[in-house]
Chain A
Amino acid sequence: MYKRRLKIFLILMAVAEAVLIGRLAQLQLIHGELYRRQAESLLAYEELLPTGRGRILDRRGNVLAEDKACYDFCLHYRMLKGPGATEADRKAYRRWADGWIKRIARRENITLDRAKELLPERMERTWRLAETITGGTRNEMARAAEEIVGRVETWRRIVGGPVKEEYLSHPVASVQDEETKVRLQGCLDRMVGASVRPSHRRSYPFKELACHLIGLLGPVGEDELARTRRNRSLPIDARLGDYLPEDRRGLSGAEKLCEGMLRGRRGYRRRRRTGEILEEVPARTGPDVHLTIDADLQRALARVFRRRPDGTEDRQRCGAVVVIDVPSGEVLAMVSQPTYDPNEYRRRLRALTGDRVDLPLIARAFAARYPPGSTVKPLVAVAGLTSGVIHPGEEIYCRGYLLPNAPDRFRCWIWLQYHRTHGPLEVVGALEHSCNIFFYTVGRRLRLRRLHDWFAAFGFADRPGTGLPGERSGSLPDPNAPHDAGVPWHLAIGQGPISVTPLHVANAIATIARGGQFRTPVLVRELAGRQRRRDLKVSPETIRLVQEGMYRVVNSSSGTGRAARDYEIEICGKTGTAKTTPRRVDGRIVRSGDTAWFAGFAPYRNPRIAFAVMVEYSDKGGGPTCGPIARQVVRTCRDYLAAQGAWPSAR
């Protein structure tokens, strides 16, 4: 029996061993490759390589925005957040603080208890030293700290668990020069949770010039972070374009418009723990983006805008100057006043957003709408002539008011100001004298739908088309909705339920200057392919008449725009003085007046530029206010273009 049992014993052991060997074969031979690959994938780790943001340049290559190397003074996340509210936060804070207590005790050769007492004082000292050396105020750093904590909390919420940013240091102040950085580094051993690391920040060499066009950078938004989170299971080469929580992205202007191009792409490197590099894809710096504006021209025009006829400067003047290159549709200059210095944006954020009277953050040129006033009259003339509601030689009698039995409504400005009439006028004369009655009549004959469609053809209903995020479309009444009979009449003189941006007006005039070829304006050279073109099918005769009318506005002795008359250049234009609702803050009127316009093109023969000058809340009319400005604008442009040989020679 014993031997038998011995055999059974041996057989049992053999069976058990067979089981083990079977499992071994399964793991190693059958699934061996799988495990090998698993081990290999764990073994190699990937790291992202940082990229640089592209620059924004003007048409000649001047740098409008670029990344500049600087140093960041960073504090650990736990120091910024403090103990926090939840139990987990408090525990993490205590753990971090304990680490520092030990370090302080070691550094200063004191007991742990004493170091624990000293910790708050050392932290306070850190803030103080940082304030003194970096030059940032405590408030600024505290605000930066708040922002950082908010950002990490958001990321944490999106991820749904602890994130590595909670264990890292974050920048609270910026240091530009080497000397300060060295001083700061020297003080690091007296601080708690502090470090200095190289970084870069966006610098704007031209300061407030074209600040609205360039735009600002800001922290990444929740939706980008959520997308990053969704992508995390993809292979790394699909994730190179994702935003990380510490990234910054364009919030406005060209920075936002060209965000995809400017931010470049990160690279990655796959390597083993031993250091051996398995695969490397280099980072791609963002390409430079060229704006079609010229920085020098822009600066000159900004100066011109504020200059009074007597040579003094009016610093309070708010408005815009838009200059469009007629042949191509490129924007040569787009000035908005008031401006702000984007280099100082973070510092002066509260002041800037708090100024509700002048609203410096809003670009008047493309982001604010005003009633265009008489500047639409050339458009209405084109509409009337092309639709056939008026004929080239047709005269319409201006008796000072439109309706025979209502002399107190729909009046011409000459009646209002001088109690006179224009008498019979045909279209050229009507433009020259800016007769309201003529255009009320045209508007009446066209009726709202056709007028609306013509305005839309000139681009008033849509956004102008530069692509800037802040661009606004014009506001026109809906022809399908029930309306008052008088609406198209007001519309024909640019009053009533119509408001457009100066960019709209300049572009519409450019269309006329081009002979009825509508083109959307181009601001970014790299996006020129997006320009849309339309042929409004206006007869050359109509164009000639309207252009002649505009010529007479400036160059005849009774034209409303004679203040813009220049003896060297044949300027054509149209004035506008639009009644505007005053600006109120908290119910109080802070700004009132009329919107003064002057839109036109030059030179008369072979137009090269089209422009619009707008002054907000002016006390005088479009002619007296904007006329002189327009003249200077055209002169400046002429000098600028002639220097390049691009101004058509006379005759």
Chain B
Amino acid sequence: MLARIRLLLRPTSWPIVAAMLTLMALGVFGVRAAEQADPSLSGKPLRQAVYVAVSLLAFFIATTVHYKRIGRASYPLFAVNLALLVLVLQLAPIRHSHRWINLKLFQVQPSELAKLTYILALAWYLRYRRNYRRLVGLIPPFVLTLIPAGLILIEPDLGTTLLLIPTLFFMLFMAGAKIKHLLAIAAVAAALMFFPVPQSLSDLGGAEAAGSAPLAYWRGAIGGKEYVVRAAPLLFMYPRQVGRIRGWLSQSGAVTAGDEAYQLRRSKMILGAGGLGGNDHLEQMNFWFWKLPDDHTDFIYSVIGGQWGFLGCVGVMLLYLVIFVCGVEIASLTHDPFGRLLVIGVLAMLFSQIFINVGMTMGVMPITGMTLPLVSYGGSSMVVNAVALGLLVNVGGHRPILLGRRPFEYRQRHKHPPDYERMLGGSQTA
């Protein structure tokens, strides 16, 4: 018990805990304020508080078990998660998507869990390999990624799928894959994303034809039939998703498409109206009469911006920054490859999520349906994030067991003499 508390009091740990608690508190306040403006959200603050409690519990548990033991179980955990992903596809859809498994008291979202188990599995896989210095060696990690990614994509959940990609890249990058390989893969992926594919309009139904027109590279008639050339991924996307991208691309245009850009415009307006110091509560509440859809989940950052202004937004960013800095600190300190990869994976996942979500509220990214970690309303994501942070602290608390104590330990922990560095770098995989 005491050891655990001591774990949390480490200089790398307690900032994470403090930032996490602050963000969770922010989230609860945010939902409470949203509830006051919109009575249909009644009961949510209480549920959020319950989620917070559950998450904290999960956090604690995540800090107790040695991360290596969790690591040993990562493949089985991953397999179980894949099974859950398959299961959720078979169950009845909730709100037109197969995302949740409905247990009586609450709902479980396997895609959220997948984020964590994926990191664990990938880190465990990569921890002692060397062959990913070669291009061929990158194939297994990709396959490992593609399976859950594909399952999640079918749900459909484009946002979470997209998260896995930067995580994979960062983990490979930190694990030591050659940069030119990674860049090449990125280039190929980009080419695929924008690959023009001709489509005959007469094959498509009416509504789709209308939706595909604006995002076309070229549109014209050949031999009497109308053809349109669009980017390849658009062929597989739902009209709603295509609409979101369209709304994002035309956000500053004078005439924006109605529904698609509505959310984005509202979000920018509320965010922008915050100014430097934000608006007082009554005014904010009034603003919310023009309800921002999902203002307690995906767009909670706009609400923060409106309430607390620029200072508030930067403040929230700083809180996340604290977590990142401590995380990077832990990553640099620890020498265990699994630990390092785990930390990097968690950080990459967290960072991507924050970037996508915050970017979404500002119009930097298209709207995807990503929540803001620890702040947005939602149980699964909060528990998963808390567990991820718990793992961070976990890694930060355990040093690899060396045969002897490290010389020069009494000196500042961060600086090592250069030759010692090289020595360490040579004997362990980077």
Q: Residues of A with Cβ closer than 8 Å to B?
A: 1-3, 5-6, 8-10, 13, 16-17, 19-21, 23-25, 27-29, 31-36, 38-40, 42-43, 272-274
> In whole angstroms, how far apart are the Cα atoms of A40 and B314 in the complex?
24
Q: Residues of B with Cβ closer than 8 Å to A?
A: 170, 173-174, 176, 268-276, 286-287, 289-290, 305, 309-310, 313-314, 317, 321, 324, 328, 331-332, 340, 344, 347, 351, 355, 358-359, 362-364, 421, 425, 430
Q: Are A39 and B273 in contact (CB under 8 A)?
A: yes
Interchain nearest-CB distance for B223 vs A (Å): 33
Contacts of A8 in B (CB 8 A): 173
- Additional A-B contacts beyond A6-B331, A20-B362, A28-B275 (15; CB < 8 A): A1-B176, A2-B174, A9-B170, A9-B174, A10-B324, A16-B351, A24-B271, A24-B305, A28-B271, A28-B310, A33-B275, A35-B270, A35-B272, A39-B273, A43-B290
Please, could you name 20 A-B residue pairs with CB atoms under 8 Å apart, sorted by A?
A2-B176, A5-B173, A6-B332, A17-B317, A20-B358, A20-B362, A20-B364, A21-B314, A23-B362, A24-B271, A24-B305, A28-B276, A29-B275, A29-B310, A32-B273, A32-B274, A32-B276, A33-B275, A39-B290, A273-B286
Q: Are B305 and A32 in contact (CB under 8 A)?
A: no
Q: Are A6 and B174 in contact (CB under 8 A)?
A: yes
Interchain nearest-CB distance for B319 vs A (Å): 12
Contacts of A1 in B (CB 8 A): 176, 425, 430
> In whole angstroms, how far apart are the Cα atoms of A273 and B287 in the complex?
9
Q: Are B286 and A274 in contact (CB under 8 A)?
A: yes
> In whole angstroms, how far apart are the Cα atoms of A9 and B425 in the complex?
18
The 8 Å CB contact of B286, one of A6, A19, A20, A43, is: A43
> In whole angstroms, how far apart are the Cα atoms of A40 and B287 in the complex?
8
Q: Are A13 and B351 in contact (CB under 8 A)?
A: yes
Interchain nearest-CB distance for A275 vs B (Å): 11
> In whole angstroms, how far apart are the Cα atoms of A273 and B286 in the complex?
7
The 8 Å CB contact of B355, one of A9, A20, A27, A39, is: A20
| Chain B interface, DSSP helix/strand/loop, else mixed | helix
The 8 Å CB contact of B287, one of A6, A13, A23, A43, is: A43
Across the interface, name the chain A residue whose C-beta is closest to B430: A2
Across the interface, name the chain B residue whose C-beta is closest to A43: B286
Interchain nearest-CB distance for A459 vs B (Å): 57
The 8 Å CB contact of A36, one of B170, B275, B290, B340, is: B275
The 8 Å CB contact of B273, one of A23, A25, A36, A272, is: A36
Q: Are A31 and B272 in contact (CB under 8 A)?
A: yes
Across the interface, name the chain B residue whose C-beta is closest to A28: B310
Interface centre among A2, A6, A23, A273 (most CB of B within 10 A): A2
Contacts of B276 in A (CB 8 A): 28-29, 32
Across the interface, name the chain B residue whose C-beta is closest to A1: B430
Contacts of A6 in B (CB 8 A): 174, 328, 331-332
Across the interface, name the chain B residue whose C-beta is closest to A29: B310
Contacts of B269 in A (CB 8 A): 35, 38-39, 42
Interchain nearest-CB distance for A635 vs B (Å): 73
Q: Are A27 and B176 in contact (CB under 8 A)?
A: no
10 pairs of A and B residues whose beta carbons are closest in the complex: A35-B272, A32-B275, A2-B430, A36-B273, A27-B272, A39-B273, A273-B289, A28-B310, A35-B273, A1-B430
Q: Are B287 and A39 in contact (CB under 8 A)?
A: yes
Contacts of A31 in B (CB 8 A): 272
Contacts of B174 in A (CB 8 A): 2, 5-6, 9
Contacts of A5 in B (CB 8 A): 173-174, 176
Contacts of B317 in A (CB 8 A): 17, 20-21
Q: Are B286 and A28 in contact (CB under 8 A)?
A: no
> In whole angstroms, how far apart are the Cα atoms of A17 and B174 in the complex?
20
Interface centre among B173, B272, B305, B314 (most CB of A within 10 A): B272
Q: Are A24 and B310 in contact (CB under 8 A)?
A: yes
